[in-house]
Amino acid sequence: MMKFQILGYSATLLTTLGLLLSTSFAMALAGEPANALLQEDVSQPIPLWSGIAPGEKGDIGEEHDAYKAEPNADPKKRIIVLANVSKPTLTVYRPSKNLDKGVGVIVCPGGGYSILAYDLEGSEICKWLNSFGVTGFLLKYRVPSRKGLEKHAASLQDAQRAVSIVRSRAKEWGVAPNKIGILGFSAGGHLSVMTSASYDKRSYAAVDGMDRESCRPDFSILIYPAYLTRDDDSTKLAPEITVTAKTPPAFIVMSQDDPVKVECALVYAMALQHEKVPIEMHIYPKGGHGYGLREGAFIATDWPKRAARWLRNEVFAK
């Protein structure tokens, strides 16, 4: 069944990304005591592929931080903008043992399949997940889109591989193999949907025993997801997305003034509803795009509290 909510709040236009969340604020969003330990362990990045990633030709250029500050920009609003990613990795963020719920979430930053907003929609999200007992797996997937391929082709290979790796090593990381989800922002939301919709056909040839494990996420969290509708008709689902009764349950957040169009959330939710896939969706009148976890002027930025509650009710309890 679908939970659908439109909140009738109004506010002035969001003009900044806001300040980084403090530890205590992250805890407050998740409903945890502020003195709880955020995390106990962050791994070194784990390569997804033992050698060169499928189809790589070595023509992307060197990976680098492409952030460009505006004149007189507040340094506290800086973000890490990764460009030219050709060596995809997973970084594991484990919660403290006293909080650990045995749930894992693969986090896919956004960036239009051109770059990755690596802290704003990546590492900060993993630390927030840690604050209420969830293990975060930060996915550094390949960008930009490879020439001659669908925009998401290389990235989908990385995401499917990531799900299989996490499931194959679930015991090692203290995660239940049936409680592995995926969370994505913007293009990362599209990638999360593609991973949820394409699990029955792996987009690369299996490379080792880990690929015997399913690459289907058990649930998805989609924050201002992009590219979910047709380019020529925003009332229809994008042709590459197929929704069935086995598509994972979803938690979805979007704003009506989002420039990537609120229809992305609405149309995907209706497709899930048609197949009786459980959904919780929050549509806000104002909020824009690209705020991550950071404080802003609009109530849309309270989504972490709602998402944490959804995870407790729909995932922890099962």
Closest CA to 106 of 206, 185, 201: 185
* Close Cβ partners of 85 (under 8 Å, ≥ 6 residues apart): 60, 63, 116, 140, 141, 142, 143
The parent domain of residue 225 ranges over 2-316
DSSP conformation class of 187: H
Domain count, the chain: 1
Q: Is residue 313 helix, strand or coil?
A: helix
Give SS3 for 37: coil
| pLDDT at residue 34, rounded to an integer | 34
Q: pTM to 2 decimals?
A: 0.87
Consecutive 10-residue runs of the chain (318 residues): their mean pLDDT?
42 31 37 41 93 94 91 80 98 97 98 98 98 98 96 98 98 98 98 96 94 97 98 97 97 97 98 98 95 86 96 93
- Quick check: 250 and 222 in contact, CB under 8 A? yes
Residues 21/293, Cβ–Cβ less than 8 Å: yes
| Strand ranges (E), the chain | 2-6, 41-42, 46-47, 64-65, 81-83, 89-94, 103-108, 115-117, 134-140, 180-185, 220-223, 250-255, 279-284
Distance (Å, rounded) from C-alpha 313 to C-alpha 162? 25
pLDDT of residue 272: 98
Q: Cα(51)–Cα(23) distance, rounded to whole angstroms?
A: 37
Cβ atoms within 10 Å of 279's Cβ, excluding its own: 20
Q: 204 CB contacts (<8 Å, ≥6 apart)?
A: 54, 157, 160, 161
Nearest residue to 217 (alpha-carbon basis) of 177, 252, 187, 251:
177
E-assigned strand segments in 158-289? 180-185, 220-223, 250-255, 279-284
What does the block give as tokens for 81?
């903008």
Could you tell me the CATH number of the domain that includes residue 54? 3.40.50.1820
Instruction: Please report the pLDDT score of residue 40 as a whole number.
Output: 57
